[in-house]
Amino acid sequence: MKKELLMASALVSTLGVASVAQAVTATMAGSMKVGAEFESADDSTVDSNTVMDQSNFNISLSETTDGGTTISTSFEIVDEGAVAADDDNAIKLTFTDGSAIELLNAGNAAGTHVVAVPGAAGEQGVGGTSTNNAPGDVDFAAGSTALGVEWHSAADFLADGLKMSASFSTDNGAAKTDTARLENSWGIGATYVTTAGDTTVTIGGGIADGEIANNSTQANADKGGFNIGVSAVTGDLTIGVGYGDGDTFVAQSTSVAASGSAANTEIDGSVMKAGVSYVTGDITLALGVTAGEGKDGTFGTAGTTDDSTDSTSASVTYAVASGVSAVIGYTTVDTNNDGTSTTDGGSAWYVGATMSF
């Protein structure tokens, strides 16, 4: 029995060493946000107060082969009242020349090169109706399926400060039904960084296109468009602006046509975002505006009247300690659905704290 115990102990020890030696490199990051939101809608809607309790935990995995190729991926767990795992992550291969390729869940290259526009911190927001389909993100027309790849150039590709990427995704094999779905897509994007005196200027954007499949009429429905943006950083001041234009859709299961019956919805829209942030000591001031509009209609019937959502947000963030910040944020929203002012507008305050690691 003593010999068996010694052999078992040695085996466990050996397996333990082997598992450590063969493990990829893992890094962790995450944050915890706790605060209160005070939402004031129009006069016909009751005001609400909500405690915001949000956490996220991210694991990044990476290892380099003997040939110098780095293999990496990541996953995230987010808790916003209900735990959810983010499984929409690609396997990325980064080569010795700096170029890379992402396999599966790669996304769309037009979205990869969206320029970051400063915006307010905080978790304040004002909800809108499901029938208002004005877009809110400049890359709303850049779609992809899970069966996709994206190639990334190395830095300084063709010119100093230039990076490019291209993507393609294909049919996911789902059966065609009345519910519309994206069948395939492609995208091309680029980012160019340069300096002008003490200012660093970033210009980026891309174009995308895709096909929608279902077994019903889809005369005018598609998904595609472009986005472009520019940001400038001078010392502690950052200014940015972005614009997107194109077509997208909302599938039958989540859309409601103007008649009130469920239907696939096609949307022709555009959105503009602009923002500014300034850091002074331990305080960051931020202001952002978004203006989106879109014409929506059931497949085969292009919309003729505008949905619109216009919002302005501002925040003050104070660095209390390393990794700890206090936030006060404010947002005001004005909405229109099919050319008519809706009761979804209003304003919201947020007061809270964030702890990050």
Structure tokens at 3: 């010999």
Strands 25-41 and 346-356: antiparallel
Cα 290 from Cα 268, distance rounded (Å) = 17
Burial status of residue 1 (CB atoms within 10 A of its CB: 0-12, 13-18, 19 or more)? exposed
User: Across-strand partners of 39?
Assistant: 48, 348
* Mean local confidence (pLDDT), 123-137: 79
Q: Is the pLDDT at 217 greater than 70, yes or no?
A: no
Cα 31 from Cα 13, distance rounded (Å) = 35
Cα 262 from Cα 99, distance rounded (Å) = 45
The candidate with the shortest Cα–Cα distance to 248, out of 205, 292, 191, 215, is: 292
Q: List, for residues 155-207, the tens digit of each pLDDT value.
A: 999 999 999 999 999 987 777 777 888 888 999 999 999 999 999 999 999 99
Please report the pLDDT score of residue 200 as a whole number.
Answer: 96
Structure tokens at 122: 């905080």
pTM given for the model: 0.82
Q: List, for residues 83-95, the tens digit of each pLDDT value.
A: 555 556 789 999 9
CB of 48 within 8 A of CB of 124? Answer: no
Q: Which residue has the tokens 């964030």?
A: 354
Q: Encode burial over 149-167: b for 16+ CB neighbours within 10 A, e otherwise.
A: bbebbeeebeeebbbbbbb
Q: Domain 31-55+107-356 is of which CATH architecture?
A: Beta Barrel (2.40)
Amino acid at 83: V
> Which of these ranges, 31-35, 88-92, 351-355, has the smallest mean pLDDT?
88-92
Structure tokens at 190: 């680029």
